[in-house]
Structure 1
């Protein structure tokens, strides 16, 4: 099978889907507005974006049609519908098309520019033969803009990399592995830890970077918790499992979350998680079995759970041991690739296009 992927080549999610398909023996090429970092395992073609004139639009679409046509795909698969779904819509119905929604493309995009973006999203979602989403929550959001069926295909975990690790010992250690952006609510975690009694012993690491980094660092100082938190910065993918396994608990006070790859990585390692009950997070965390779910806006509940975790880190570690089986049963990435291939095969059946 020949698969033309229209997606952000700089995204690790795109890279994992492409590699998963290549490993199955499929011939894949990628069309992207950004470059693939390092050596790509497939051909990557750059799409030109930016300010549009009618001439430039016609030229860019023409080039896309010509290059995709030269590849002769069996399937065109666009990831992130408000951007790459639009590119794929311009291709027309020459090839069967699968569109995958990722999150902000259906959660945030329709809310901008009044009703214009909602109209545009509906028009885009009218194009594909099949639509997929990574969670039941995201599928429900997507159904607000289309009458077509939406198939749930999770974005699971590479369990060859994220394997169970032995439990830690000693005082509680926690980690946040999300971009330092307002949507991920890292300020909520800092506020909650500041209210945990000072005599509790704990240590935290915050990974990654983002536009909120300086503000969050200042907030940690003003709250009196900076001396217990290490700002680790970006972590290479190869090092991530070991860095995460340092902690006993992953913390995710997101204000919006369409799925939840980060907490799944922690659970696959045998680590407990604590998160807001929002978006797709309740689907990927088994409450009181692999972690804890807290209602958004309930800071006192965060304080109560964090205090209990610091008081009894062994209870947190016991909870974490339930995570690997939970992930293996539902969120193994190899199984998710099988699910996506089944979507492709269904589309290619005679008369199955919609």
Structure 2
């Protein structure tokens, strides 16, 4: 059974940021988990605190399925899930001073220099947290990487918006994640940081106001030849850059678009164009899944793929990389393929 009643699709809402009291049917404190994994942690929080509302961000389809089954089992009413990058989702979907707490449990540390803008230590993400958290609201960050913990600690300590209340090694919590238990059972060190907001920051939202994501209706002369000319074209808005990567034709037309904002958040999506007699409808569609495959003969078991994208790849007992999600829309799968030293990983859209 696939449960979908807990998933929230932002493109279906008329305005941004969202009115969470309308979504949950009440006004309550809001807690967010960034990267909820199998949903175990979020489920337990929602069960223990029925007086609060919980929102989880994740990109893994498998995680969505597993988490929603848990919610359904306990008949939870106070939790919703959103399948977008949390850097984007926190900024665009939550009003200022609307979130009580943000949990970030054992995220990918993104050790490479070219990926550092994806870490919690990036300036743009810190600005988002300083805006959407309520005064004295907290960020709780857990990791098993000491260098990452030190970097996050330095970032919060040097910020005018936060003070660090807790920095603890080998911490204990009432609610634990699967990775938490795993690392502790192996004797591996874990680190916890709790930072509290003491000053409000300002963040510039790209979608504030009326929702223009869903669709657009227009009249004009649209031809296949004209659309093909758009391939590779770059369009610039005030705060965003759009690139038309590919145009497809079936009964309708389909445009594959990549957009990047000032904070480096990149999104792939499709625009479906259909119409007749000069009247056209342009509809926003989410990015398609990618098919992932590993050539076992070429794999040398370096572990790069598991480090970059643990939801999709895992080293097996034979030392070879295994694919956990043969179909995924996680961007890190492409990063893993690009970083594989032997080219053993292939990703097909």
Both proteins in one fold, TM over 0.5: no
Q: Please identify which structure carries the higher helix content.
A: 1
Which structure carries more relative contact order (alpha carbon 8 Å, separation 6+)? Answer: 1
TM-score, structure 1 normalization: 0.27
**Structure holding more strand per residue:** 2
Q: TM-score, normalised by structure 2?
A: 0.27
